[in-house]
């Protein structure tokens, strides 16, 4: 393949840097009081760690931005096998590490690694590669869709065993949107949608803690100090910010530790409290801008592999942001999933930035404005 290389999409690049900068500031603002006490005893604990991960992620982003994306085809199969190996390894007692009732991490010395974040990017690359090899088969359910649905279901099932419903839904939604972008039949996708909703309902019904969260979503005030605690304090944080917010570092709900997971899953609530309605809307607009520029890259890329690769990366970030903001605003039941670029979390941040690097490289070969 010989395509003319251009500079990467500057608006997309600037949008990602802006979101990342806001995230680092808000991680510090939401965590410094909590980090002053044991076991951290350092108000800069989360800031330093997030900054280190951001530097690693940005380095990876710049590397992938200059690594021609079609070379990823040769690694697609290896990456898929490695992703499944890690998803299985994390479930093995003694290898996987359990935190807060979930076994999602592998310890690498002083650092921890979350295989599900790695697997999302690997499955996007493999699916884009497979669909681009035989695009004419996409309307055939058995040959065009079923192989990728089986792979997706196996990966989502392993992630669900950790348990991590939010990431499983994000992965499944990303692959389905890639199938849509490849030209899959709307009848097939509609049937998949019905099955997907049924699968999520079954996952909620069969796990007592998920059922409690769902009932709390329907009526959080029924158990305000128990299952409704997350939702109520999230809404109070958002509401207390008003139009302009209380100011950086002045959020009462995060400082007095009423808001759980303030620097990770509920960082958007801190943004709403400290930066107000305007700050929260700015963050949402930045995600909309990211999705728009990413989809533009996907649409204007001349080859199928690059187009589907871009669509998958953008879809993954977009779905994850929608779920996180939906949870924080009580539009969706509580599930543990971070806000891309903004939440504290090394593995999520690094692999999201690696994906952005691939997306920026694809943009170098898309049609000019």
| pLDDT tens, residue by residue, 170-227 | 999 999 999 999 998 899 999 999 999 999 999 889 888 889 888 888 888 888 888 8
Look at residue 3 and tell me if it is in a domain: no
Could you give the number of structural domains in the chain?
1
What are the φ/ψ torsions at residue 103 (nearest 5 degrees)? Answer: -105, 85
Look at residue 2 and tell me if it is in a domain: no
Its pTM stands at: 0.94
Distance (Å, whole) CA 34 – CA 261: 11
pLDDT cut 90: percent of the chain above it: 64
Average pLDDT over residues 273-294: 96
Residue numbers of the domain that contains 289: 10-364
Which residues, at least 6 apart from 158, have a Cβ–Cβ distance to it below 8 Å? 84, 87, 88, 91
Q: Kindly report each contact of residues 30-36 with a partner whose C-beta sits within 8 Å and lies 24 or more positions away, as own/partner.
A: 30/251, 30/254, 30/262, 30/263, 30/267, 30/270, 31/262, 31/263, 31/344, 32/249, 33/254, 33/255, 33/257, 34/254, 34/257, 34/262, 34/263
pLDDT of residue 164: 87
Which residues, at least 6 apart from 267, have a Cβ–Cβ distance to it below 8 Å? 23, 26, 27, 30, 339, 342, 343, 344
Look at residue 321 and tell me if it is in a domain: yes
Look at residue 354 and tell me if it is in a domain: yes
List pLDDT tens digits, range 42-100.
999 999 999 999 999 999 999 999 999 999 999 999 999 999 999 999 998 888 887 76
Structure confidence at residue 162 as a pLDDT band (50, 70, 90): confident
Look at residue 130 and tell me if it is in a domain: yes
Query: Which of 29-43, 106-120, 126-140, 319-333 shows the lowest per-residue confidence on average (mean pLDDT)?
Result: 106-120
Look at residue 56 and tell me if it is in a domain: yes
List pLDDT tens digits, range 318-333.
999 999 999 999 999 9
pLDDT of residue 3: 61
Look at residue 4 and tell me if it is in a domain: no
Q: Is the pLDDT of residue 1 over 70?
A: no
Look at residue 276 and tell me if it is in a domain: yes
């Amino acid at each position: 393949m010989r395509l003319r290389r251009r500079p990467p999409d500057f608006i997309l690049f600037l949008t990602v840097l802006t979101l990342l900068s806001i995230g680092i500031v808000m991680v510090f603002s939401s965590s410094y009081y909590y980090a002053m006490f044991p076991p951290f005893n350092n108000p800069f604990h989360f800031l330093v760690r997030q900054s280190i991960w951001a530097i690693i992620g940005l380095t990876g982003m710049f590397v992938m931005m200059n690594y021609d994306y079609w070379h990823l085809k040769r690694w697609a199969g290896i990456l898929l096998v490695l992703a499944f190996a890690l998803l299985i390894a994390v479930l093995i007692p003694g290898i996987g590490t359990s935190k807060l009732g979930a076994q999602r991490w592998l310890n690498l010395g002083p650092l921890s690694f979350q295989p599900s974040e790695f697997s999302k990017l690997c499955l996007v690359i493999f699916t884009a590669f497979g669909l681009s090899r035989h695009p004419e088969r996409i309307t055939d359910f058995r040959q065009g869709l079923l192989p990728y649905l089986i792979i997706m279901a196996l990966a989502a099932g392993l992630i669900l065993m950790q348990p991590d419903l939010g990431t499983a839904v994000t992965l499944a939604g990303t692959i389905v949107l890639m199938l849509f972008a490849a030209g899959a039949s709307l009848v097939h996708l509609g049937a998949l949608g019905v099955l997907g909703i049924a699968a999520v309902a079954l996952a909620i019904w069969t796990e007592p803690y998920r059922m409690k969260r769902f009932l709390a979503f329907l009526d959080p005030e029924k158990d305000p100090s128990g299952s409704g605690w997350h939702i109520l304090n999230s809404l109070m944080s958002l509401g207390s910010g008003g139009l302009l917010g209380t100011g950086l570092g002045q959020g009462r709900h995060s400082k007095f530790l009423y808001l759980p997971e303030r620097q990770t899953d509920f960082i958007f609530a801190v943004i709403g409290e400290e930066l107000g309605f305007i700050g929260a809307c700015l963050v949402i607009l930045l995600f909309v801008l990211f999705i728009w520029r990413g989809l533009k890259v996907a649409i204007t890329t001349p080859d199928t592999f690059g187009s589907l690769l871009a669509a998958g990366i953008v879809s993954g970030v977009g779905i994850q942001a929608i779920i996180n903001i939906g949870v924080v605003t009580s539009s969706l039941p509580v599930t543990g999933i971070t806000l891309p670029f903004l939440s504290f979390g090394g593995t999520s941040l690094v692999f999201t930035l690696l994906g952005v690097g691939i997306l920026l490289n694809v943009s170098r070969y898309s049609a000019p404005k």
